[in-house]
Structure 1
Amino acid sequence: MTNDSATDNTAANDPEANSSATEASATSDDFEWPARLRRRYTPLSLIARGGMADVFRARDEFLGRDVAVKLFRAAATAESDFRRQEIEVDVLARLNHPNLVTLLDAAVDRTDPVRPRIYFVMELVEGTDLKRRLDSGPLRNRQVAQVGYWVATALEYVHDLGIVHRDVKPANILIAVTNDGLTVNSKLGDFGIASIGNAQAIPDEDFVTGTVAYLSPEQARGEEVGPASDVYSLGLVILQCLTAQLAFPGPPQHSAMVRLINDPEIPDFVPDEWRILLRAMTSREPGDRPDIHDVAVAMGQFSFTESGRHRSPPVPVSIALPGPLPDEAFDRITAMAARINSVPLAMVSIAGHDRVWFTSRHDLDVTSIGMDAAANAPALIQSTPWVIEDATIDLRSAQNPLMTPNGSDAESFRFYAGVPILTADNTAIGTLCVLDVNPRTIDADALATLEDLAVMVMREIESLVIAHDD
């Protein structure tokens, strides 16, 4: 997002936008609300105000839900403005990903033909933007890993569609933190200067006051920009999450130029594995940076490792399930999961301090693997299923001893589908997963059944805890 437009989510202001906007009750008479919008959407409050557009919380009277409306001012109708807005609509209309802000509607209100008004209607996402959160200090390492993971997976999806965001920065990342502070979900927004395919340099007017602090060196040099540019920008964002400081502060021109000759400084307190990744992501040469897929894999592993490093395992696990002891009830559930999915192996895995224990398993000699190498790590940091259809082409399984991506081991598993085992407070303590030696797919109904079986596993664990306490 440029600083000439308001944010395209509902809970985050543009860095240069009027931060005094508050969510006070409103009517359509309080704002310049076009007639076409009034027929369906009722404004409730002003969320953010930028140089070219305002973002409102509004009520969709047809569907009975609250939405976000990004309304461009009539003055923002120059040819270049229309082009930028058309690009944003074109890009957003192609996207459907849980970590991207979803576009619901877009149109031009021509009630006043002299002053047409362009508007976008998007999902309403509660929370704050990452820039505002960082104003109060750095995030915990676990939170940083989660933010990095979600944004990287969103960018991987975008890049696979041939789209380069070109404006990855904290103000364009919406975050929601759970009450206990352990889990952070993120959504990437504002595709106002995105490109479909590699693109030439962004015109100066598009980032004069906006994204300079997060530009890649090739952007600063005015060269062609590709997916590697987003990787660099995300690297600076992750570093800022750890330090709450800009990597390249100062006036825009100085900030843009200094990255051409210096790498960002990474403080000594940053863990070594993070340092290696950040150094690669912020390499001045695009070809030396990792693919965004590899960044997502690394951030998922970091999140899992940090979870074990800073948080004791759940009490039910440590009391009732002290080791890889098979339980008859669990065996029935895993056998059911294997039969339903026609796979040779299903298992319940429980996270400990530093390992994942395979509590219930069939025909498997391995009883545990290191937490940082677990294929089910992502399922433990999200509340949705995690699927690897073919390990030979999916590097997310690269370090798991049960799965061999190069396909050299005929006994290795190539398919994995796991769902988290969740406590009442939505904390993941393990996974229920199915594996196959052959690559395959799994449909939504089968995943839903796995989730139901995971609930049964949690109930068995709770029963064991009660029995232990008695």
Structure 2
Amino acid sequence: MVEAAVDSTPGLLFGGRYRLLERIGVGAKAAVHRARDEFLARDVAIKLIPTDVLDEHQQRSNDAEVKLLARLNHHSLIALLDAGTDFSDPASPFVYLVMELVRGPDLRHRIAEGTLQLRQTAQIGCDLADGLDYIHSQSVVHRDVKPANVMLFDYGTRNARVRAKLTDFGIAALTGTKGDDASSLTGTVAYMSPEQVKGESVDAASDIYSLGLVLLQCITGKMEFPGPVVESAVVRLFRAPEIPADLDPQWVALLTAMTSRDPAARPTAREVSMALYEQAVAGRSRRKQAGSLVPDNEEDRLAAVRRYNILDTPPDGAFDRITSLASRIFSVPTAIVSVVDHDRIWFKSHYGTDVEQLDRDPGLCASAILQDGPWIVENAPADPRALSNPLVAGEFGLKFYAGVPLRTRDGFNLGTLCILDTESRQFTSDEVGMLEDLAGIVMTDLELRLESRSARA
């Protein structure tokens, strides 16, 4: 047991700042405790991991690798805040990982309560695929995607859905320090890919297989490959997962591809994310006609969003003067600089509201980026384009929206500069021109940032 290998007495101090509190979870390889960050006066989660590495040089190599993982930053990952190796007992050194403390259930417990709706499964899967896409782009493979490593939570804002965050994304990379041989890696047998079971080299495709098994379990409520370790491991080498025949054909096609025994036949995490977003939207509206909020060039547009590196970045106040100025010029209570990601709208500057993000589905900015020019809704409750929108029909009572796309030099709409009001109003062509000028200032700043990064590279 972990407790026998690691002294986890409450009150111990790690890294000179993390005071150990009660244990909140334990597994075969590690124990998780709540801890107090005494420097920042906040609670964190700290994971204590015994390791098989024998000498101090290898221990310090482990430490360097975890420090690299700590720099990963994505909204679909539990943030790894700090890490280190404890040598207080030279005979039994261990690694500790300091992570954000998420107060919510894990997916394993949620599935135990009953199966998830297809739309919920698509939304959760979309979040997880996003996180995998990010770590894969950083040459990291998770190697232990399973329901117990998925934390569920919500932002507590109106119209927000449950979000999923992947945790323990560094453990497998951490324990695989004896070389690139995948046989030295650990994972959970029930969710391993065939290549993991066979001890072959694994890459991003292995995570896709595991995610496919997780999604299937969300839908059926059953673990696909249960049983003793050997039986569970071997059976997937001889048969594919059993996908319900009455499942929607698009779901069947996606899960079949994700759990192919041939890694080369599996989709990428980005492709999985896009497919699941389509399923989440279809699950809400069941429409794929002119009213769809997905542009024809969506994959290229999202590539442009990532190119500008404006998601998952801390607030820098760069556009706060623009939104403040827009509010004063147009005498409106709210002005926003938004960036439309594949499943949500990020408010990079938000004057007059504390909301920092919104699901893409009800967001008017998602409609605005479909336009070649400004998108003006002067009387939303009477406008067929907006009257059924939750922001219009709900408690917020939105009545006026004017958005100008933030258009890149190569023709992609990243998001909008928009103004909102709870009163209907007319918007003149001169006012449209002023809003376009302010949006142009935002894009000029983004283009200069992009050029600066390119020059440094």
TM-score (norm. length: structure 2): 0.61
1:184 is aligned, of 162, 167, 170, to 162
Contact in 1 for aligned 2:12/2:20 (Cα 8 Å): no
1:194 is aligned, of 164, 173, 193, to 173
Asked if residue 379 in structure 1 is aligned to residue 344 in structure 2, the reply is yes
1:267 is aligned, of 237, 240, 244, to 244
Give matches, 1:420-431, under 5 Å. Answer: none
1:347-377 deviations in whole A, cap 9, x for unaligned? xxxxxxxxxxxxxxxxxxxxxxxxxxxx876
Give matches, 1:14-413, under 5 Å. Answer: 31=9, 33-36=11-14, 39-72=16-49, 78=54, 82=59, 86=63, 89-113=66-90, 116-177=93-154, 183-190=161-168, 191-194=170-173, 199-203=180-184, 207=186, 210-309=187-286, 378-379=343-344, 384=357
**1:297 is aligned with what amino acid?**
M
Contact in 2 for aligned 1:91/1:194 (Cα 8 Å): no
Alpha-carbon distance between aligned partners in 2 of 1:380 and 1:222, rounded to the nearest angstrom: 41
Question: What is the deviation of 1:309?
Answer: 4.9
Alpha-carbon distance between aligned partners in 1 of 2:20 and 2:282, rounded to the nearest angstrom: 44
Alpha-carbon distance between aligned partners in 2 of 1:72 and 1:277, rounded to the nearest angstrom: 36
**1:384 is aligned with what amino acid?**
Q
Query: After the TM superposition, which of the residue ranges 426-435 and 242-251 deviates more from structure 2?
Result: 426-435
Question: What is the deviation of 1:268?
Answer: 2.8
Q: CA separation of 1:113/1:92 partners in 2, compared to 1, >3 Å: closer, same or farther?
A: same
Alpha-carbon distance between aligned partners in 2 of 1:169 and 1:126, rounded to the nearest angstrom: 19
TM-score (norm. length: structure 1): 0.60
Alpha-carbon distance between aligned partners in 2 of 1:431 and 1:384, rounded to the nearest angstrom: 18
| Alignment-derived partner of residue 434 in structure 1 | 405
Q: CA separation of 1:64/1:90 partners in 2, compared to 1, >3 Å: closer, same or farther?
A: closer
Q: CA separation of 1:117/1:265 partners in 2, compared to 1, >3 Å: closer, same or farther?
A: closer
Alpha-carbon distance between aligned partners in 2 of 1:245 and 1:425, rounded to the nearest angstrom: 39
Contact in 2 for aligned 1:304/1:377 (Cα 8 Å): no
Alpha-carbon distance between aligned partners in 2 of 1:298 and 1:67, rounded to the nearest angstrom: 34
- Percent of aligned pairs with the same amino acid: 39
Question: What is the deviation of 1:441?
Answer: 8.8
Alpha-carbon distance between aligned partners in 2 of 1:119 and 1:428, rounded to the nearest angstrom: 48
Segments of 5+ residues of structure 1 without an aligned counterpart are 7-28, 311-335, 341-374, 388-396, 404-410, 413-419, 463-470
Q: CA separation of 1:225/1:53 partners in 2, compared to 1, >3 Å: closer, same or farther?
A: closer
Question: What is the deviation of 1:46?
Answer: 1.7
Q: CA separation of 1:54/1:437 partners in 2, compared to 1, >3 Å: closer, same or farther?
A: closer
Question: What is the deviation of 1:259?
Answer: 1.4
Question: What is the deviation of 1:379?
Answer: 2.6
Q: CA separation of 1:253/1:402 partners in 2, compared to 1, >3 Å: closer, same or farther?
A: same
Contact in 2 for aligned 1:129/1:175 (Cα 8 Å): yes
1:34-54 deviations in whole A, cap 9, x for unaligned? 3445x5333443211234432
Alpha-carbon distance between aligned partners in 2 of 1:381 and 1:135, rounded to the nearest angstrom: 32
1:60-111 deviations in whole A, cap 9, x for unaligned? 22212111122346x8774599489547614522311111111222233444
**1:244 is aligned with what amino acid?**
G
1:243-280 deviations in whole A, cap 9, x for unaligned? 11112222222222221221111113421111111111
Contact in 2 for aligned 1:84/1:193 (Cα 8 Å): no
Contact in 1 for aligned 2:67/2:82 (Cα 8 Å): no
**2:357 is aligned with what amino acid?**
T
Tell me how many residue pairs correspond in the alignment: 339
Contact in 2 for aligned 1:92/1:102 (Cα 8 Å): no
Alpha-carbon distance between aligned partners in 1 of 2:60 and 2:172, rounded to the nearest angstrom: 10
Segments of 5+ residues of structure 2 without an aligned counterpart are 288-321, 327-339, 348-355, 361-365, 374-388, 426-457
Q: CA separation of 1:286/1:384 partners in 2, compared to 1, >3 Å: closer, same or farther?
A: same
1:153-200 deviations in whole A, cap 9, x for unaligned? 111111111111111111111111578997221111112113899943
1:330-363 deviations in whole A, cap 9, x for unaligned? xxxxxx99x98xxxxxxxxxxxxxxxxxxxxxxx
Q: CA separation of 1:251/1:386 partners in 2, compared to 1, >3 Å: closer, same or farther?
A: same
Q: Which one scores higher on RCO, CA 8 angstroms, separation ≥ 6? A: 1
